[in-house]
Amino acid sequence: MASCSQTAQALVTAYNTWTLENIMDVRASNCINYILPHSLSQRPMNNEEYIAFFAPSMPLFRNFRLTIHDIVVDESDRKVVMHLTSSASTDIGKYYNEYMLKLHMTEDCRKVDKSDEFVDSGYSAKYMAKLLENQSRARKTRL
């Protein structure tokens, strides 16, 4: 039986490979992802919806890295809370963000079956607006 801590670490490793296949491999088939706070107006996403949401943004980020700063594990309740930061390169410069993840694991702790992902919403909204604006300008230039 895997430990919840090992599965949480595996999820971070999967994001650091920056391949959708590896990321989804750590999620249970019925996993639900919540992007919080609710003020972001993101509805819960099953795996199919998460792929549709996440995949288009992946090519915008290079050398994506998550770093764990703190981790709290409750093996008996099969929950893990992590404070993380990310860094990456984009066409408009360096990207940094901060997250709190609360992961709920399957009974055997081998997969994540629910993820509550709190993001630095202020930073994310501003950065993504600039990044998408740059991408749009670049497309128009190529035409």
pLDDT digits (tens, 9 = 90+) for 32-85: 999 998 888 899 999 999 999 999 999 999 999 999 999 999 999 999 999 999
pLDDT at 137 over 70: yes
Tokens of 81: 């809370």
More confident residue, 126 or 52: 52
Alpha-carbon distances, residue 42 vs 19, 52, 65, 72, 119 (angstroms):
23, 13, 23, 26, 12
CA distance 136 to 91: 12
Please state the pTM of the whole predicted model: 0.89
Task: Give residue 1's pLDDT.
Answer: 63
Q: What's the mean per-residue pLDDT of the chain?
A: 93
Pairwise CA distance, residues 73 & 91, whole Å: 37
